[in-house]
């Protein structure tokens, strides 16, 4: 996608304000952060974005020197920003970055997005490892959804995709010898998941969900970290535009089914009227999580699935239950 097209898409945030100065360096501002009442140039915005990643890394003890970090990439803006910033930090932080991509098997979407991920990896001189639902589940997501409709099974596309992706990413991370798995969940994603759990009264989901998942040192489960937790979704897109990173803007055709989409629209509307609301939801989530030491005990007890041998908190993991219903 050309610069012109990208800038046109993000013109609401990327208005070139010739008369406005950057609030940090007095250079020419190219974007505005409403919640902070702050205009910034591209360079100062990039630094702010990267400082937030470093802060998340420090506060939550995510990546350490010597770590091999598998980075889940999709071709989208969040994971493009994540890979770029972690790759940039890797020399100084003395860790290694290895991009991994999950091919869900969604015709017309995955192939285009994968090309963007490959383009970025090539630019950074990194080898991209690809794993697929076809390998893991014996079928692409398109076929699974056809089966669901034929058999009138009661799961959603994102429900099944979430279960398979987690497993795929974990196996891919192990395959590349990773000690950590970094995923591109941003502040919007965390705030949305927190609200979705609240709206469903899903206390277990709340307990399971965190900025760092798993204790580390578990044989089958690669500890999962979310270094973008302090950056908003639109900031990930802006970071990609400012740093000229290739990414795919198209949406997954199944995303219309998602409950998450409704929660996202709600949060966006609230943020527009009350800038800073998303960060407030995020802070509420983090404050509540910090008061829950019992979660660690739950994770400690997690064992392995009796069917596939992968990490699971129940006798049969959710992926195996799902595959059984498709057999």
Stretch that binds Zn ion, among 30-38, 43-51, 189-197, 311-319 (CB under 5 A): 311-319
Helices 77-93 and 110-124 meet at what angle, rounded to 10? 20
For residue 252, state whether it binds ligand SF4 (rule: CB under 6 A).
yes
Partner in contact with 305, chosen from ligand SF4, Zn ion, none, beta carbon below 5 to 8 Å by kind? Zn ion
- Min dist CB 158 to ligand SF4, Å, is 3
Binding residues with ligand SF4: total (CB under 6 A)? 9
Q: Tell me: does residue 317 bind Zn ion (CB under 5 A).
A: yes
Which x/- pattern, by CB under 6 A, does the window 256-295 give for ligand SF4?
--x-------------------------------------
| From Zn ion, ligand SF4, none, interface partner of 120 (C-beta below 5 to 8 A by class) | none
Q: Which does 320 bind (CB under 5 to 8 A by kind): ligand SF4, Zn ion, none?
A: Zn ion
Among 276, 307, 313, 325, binds Zn ion (CB under 5 A): 307
Taking CB within 5 to 8 Å according to partner kind, which of ligand SF4, Zn ion, none is near residue 307? Zn ion
Let me know: does 167 contact 133? Beta carbons within 8 Å: no
For residues 44 and 86, what is the distance between their CA atoms, to the nearest angstrom? 18
Site string for ligand SF4, 155-194 (x = CB under 6 A): --xx--xx--------------------------------
Name the one range near ligand SF4 by CB under 6 A: 56-64, 126-134, 153-161, 314-322: 153-161
- Pick out residues in 267-306 that bind Zn ion (CB under 5 A): 305
Specify which residues 225 forms β-bridges with. 182, 212
The 3-class secondary structure across the chain, one letter per residue, is CCHHHHHHHCCCCCCCCCCCECCCCCCECCEEEHHHCEEECHHHHHHHHHHHHHHHHHHCCCCCCCCEEEEEECCCHHHHHHHHHHHHHHHHHCCEEEEEEEECCCCCCHHHHHHHHHHHHHHHCCCCEEEEHHHHHCCCHHHHHHHHHHHCCCCCHHHHHHHHHHHHHHHHHHHCCCCEEECCCCHHHHHHHHHHHHHCCCHHHHHHCCCEECCCCCCCCCEEECCCCCCCHHHHHHHHHHCCCCCCCCCCCCHHHCHHHHHHHHHHHHHHHCCCHHHHHHHHHHHHHHCCCHHHHHHHHCEECCCCCCEECCCCCHHHHHHHHHC
157 binds, among Zn ion, ligand SF4, none (CB under 5 to 8 A by kind): ligand SF4
Among 133, 239, 254, 285, binds ligand SF4 (CB under 6 A): 254
Taking phi first (over 0 means left), then psi (-120 to 50 degrees means alpha), and beta for anything else, what does residue 256 get?
A: alpha
Q: Determine, following the binding rule CB under 6 A, whether residue 104 of this chain makes contact with ligand SF4.
A: yes
Query: Applying CB under 5 A, does 308 fall inside the site for Zn ion?
Result: yes
The reply on whether position 136 binds ligand SF4 by CB under 6 A is no
Taking the complex as a whole, the smallest distance from the CB of residue 121 to Zn ion amounts, in Å, to 30
CB of 138 to Zn ion, least distance (A): 14
**In the complex, which residues of this chain contact ligand SF4 (CB under 6 A)?**
104, 157-158, 161-162, 252, 254-255, 258
**In the complex, which residues of this chain contact Zn ion (CB under 5 A)?**
305, 307-308, 317, 320
């Amino acid at each position: 996608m050309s610069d012109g097209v990208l800038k046109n898409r993000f013109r609401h945030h990327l208005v070139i304000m010739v008369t406005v100065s950057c609030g940090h360096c007095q250079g020419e501002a190219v974007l505005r952060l409403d919640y902070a009442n702050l205009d910034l140039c591209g360079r100062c915005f990039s630094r702010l974005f990267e400082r937030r990643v470093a802060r998340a890394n420090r506060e939550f003890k995510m990546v350490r020197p010597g770590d091999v970090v598998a980075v889940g990439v999709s071709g989208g803006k969040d994971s493009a920003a994540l890979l770029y910033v972690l790759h940039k930090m890797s020399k100084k932080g003395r860790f290694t970055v290895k991009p991994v991509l999950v091919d869900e098997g969604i015709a017309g979407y995955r192939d285009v997005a994968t090309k963007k991920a490959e383009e970025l990896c090539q630019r950074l001189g990194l080898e991209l490892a690809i794993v697929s639902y076809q390998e893991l589940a014996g079928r692409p997501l398109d076929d699974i959804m056809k089966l669901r409709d034929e058999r009138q099974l009661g799961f959603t596309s994102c429900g099944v995709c979430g279960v398979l992706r987690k497993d795929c990413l974990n196996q891919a991370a192990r395959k590349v010898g990773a000690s950590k798995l970094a995923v591109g969940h941003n502040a919007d994603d965390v705030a949305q998941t927190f609200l979705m759990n609240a709206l469903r009264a899903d206390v277990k989901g709340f307990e399971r969900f965190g900025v760092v998942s798993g204790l580390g040192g578990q044989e089958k489960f690669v500890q999962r970290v979310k270094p973008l937790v302090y950056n908003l979704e639109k900031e990930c897109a802006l970071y990609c535009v400012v740093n000229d990173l290739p990414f795919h803007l198209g949406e997954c055709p199944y995303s219309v089914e998602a409950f998450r989409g409704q929660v996202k629209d709600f949060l966006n509307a609230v943020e527009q009227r009350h800038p800073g609301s998303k960060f407030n939801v995020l802070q509420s989530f983090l404050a509540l999580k910090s008061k829950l030491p019992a979660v660690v005990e739950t994770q400690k007890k997690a064992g392995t699935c009796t069917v596939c041998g992968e990490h699971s908190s129940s006798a049969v993991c959710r992926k195996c239950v799902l595959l059984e219903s498709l057999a």
